[in-house]
């Protein structure tokens, strides 16, 4: 059967499956029918958009069935163990794009600061630059991290970072352009900031001090940017879904990612309020915090999602095989 005919015969039924229902029996019936269609499409139209559409639709119904189970004891653990990693794995391209955008903007900030003496003051502000110049003369270039009460600093920074990240995400509603602009602002600021310290011969020290909290904080902003790109793409490129349904999917994926980032921002704020102020800490301790923070981000947000996705695909394939054998036997 030609793919066009296969679509014509089934597309209206599939569209009804996009609308959620609360009847578990009906959801199970839909899931079985979809896995049949998906197996057929994989056999005769491998790599097509039809396969991708059916796979996503079957995954939505499977998730809905799971959510409606009476057993809810481990839902919190399941979110961190499976739900969020699967969202990250499905949207790994968005994470890559956000990273590439951000690093490009950081480089732009470095080059702009290098070739324009006024750029650093324009981006960081005269007050910050003057204060830091004074601290450098006093021999304490990172004294700004000691200027506030650690408890107040922790709360203020946590709230600000969460606000900034959610703003970057929500700006994805503007077709993703707002999110890219948010990454641009933060990337250029980081580039100018680091160039300022490297210019004064304090580059390595700035990394060892600032990135105690900055590793988590900056990584989380990039991941928030990925959430915004997911949202923007869901509006711009709905694929075989209706635009409204695609936007709801994108918004839900983005919200899950943002919820997952809240603890990261809280830990980063704790480091900035209580740890970064100890600018004279031993080198091994600073490097250990940096390394563990980077390892956590790379493992949980990049490597682990791929592992979960692979296991999920193997499980789905086994389920499809079992269902096929059951139907043959009956």
Give which of 57, 33, 42 is closest to 327, Cα–Cα.
Answer: 33
The answer for 175, left when phi > 0, alpha when psi is -120 to 50, beta otherwise, is: left
Query: pLDDT (tens digit, 0 to 9) for every residue of the chain, 330 residues total?
Result: 788 888 888 888 888 888 777 777 777 788 888 888 888 888 888 888 888 888 888 888 877 776 655 445 577 888 999 899 999 999 999 999 999 999 999 999 999 999 998 999 999 999 989 999 998 988 888 888 887 788 888 999 999 989 999 999 999 998 889 999 999 999 999 999 999 999 989 889 989 999 999 999 999 999 999 999 999 999 998 877 778 888 988 999 999 999 999 999 999 999 989 998 888 889 999 999 999 999 999 999 999 999 988 887 654 544 444 444 334 444
pTM: 0.76
Is residue 168 within 8 A of residue 88, CB to CB? The reply is no
For residue 69, the SS3 value is coil
Tokens found for residue 41: 């499409």
Tokens found for residue 95: 């994470």
Give which of 221, 230, 234 is closest to 102, Cα–Cα.
Answer: 221
């Amino acid at each position: 059967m030609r793919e066009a005919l296969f679509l014509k015969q089934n597309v209206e039924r599939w569209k009804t499956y996009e609308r959620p229902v609360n009847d578990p029996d009906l959801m199970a019936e839909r899931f079985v029918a979809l896995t049949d269609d998906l197996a057929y499409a994989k056999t005769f139209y491998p790599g097509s958009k039809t396969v991708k559409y059916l796979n996503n639709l079957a995954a939505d119904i499977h998730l809905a069935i799971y959510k409606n189970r009476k057993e809810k004891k481990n839902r919190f653990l399941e979110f961190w163990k499976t739900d969020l990693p699967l969202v990250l794995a499905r949207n790994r391209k968005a994470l890559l794009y956000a990273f590439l955008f951000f690093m490009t903007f950081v480089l732009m900030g470095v080059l702009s600061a290098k070739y324009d003496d006024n750029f650093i003051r324009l981006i960081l502000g005269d007050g910050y630059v003057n204060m830091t110049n004074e601290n450098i003369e006093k021999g304490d270039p990172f004294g700004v991290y000691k200027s506030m009460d650690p408890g107040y600093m922790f709360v203020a920074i946590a709230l600000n970072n969460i606000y900034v990240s959610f703003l970057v995400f929500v700006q994805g509603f503007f077709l993703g352009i707002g999110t890219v602009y948010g990454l641009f602002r933060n990337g250029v600021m980081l580039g100018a900031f680091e160039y300022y310290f490297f210019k004064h011969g304090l580059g390595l020290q700035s990394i060892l001090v600032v990135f105690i909290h900055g590793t988590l904080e900056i990584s989380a902003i990039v991941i928030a940017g990925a959430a915004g790109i997911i949202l923007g793409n869901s509006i711009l490129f709905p694929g075989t879904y209706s635009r409204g349904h695609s936007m709801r999917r994108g918004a839900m994926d983005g919200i899950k990612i943002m919820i997952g980032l809240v603890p990261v921002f809280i830990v980063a704020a704790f480091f900035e309020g209580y740890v970064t102020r100890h600018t004279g800490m031993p080198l091994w301790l600073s490097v250990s915090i940096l390394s563990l923070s980077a390892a956590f981000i790379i493992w949980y947000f990049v490597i682990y999602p791929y592992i979960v996705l692979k296991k999920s695909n193997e499980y789905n394939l086994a389920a499809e095989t079992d269902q096929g054998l059951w139907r043959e036997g009956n």
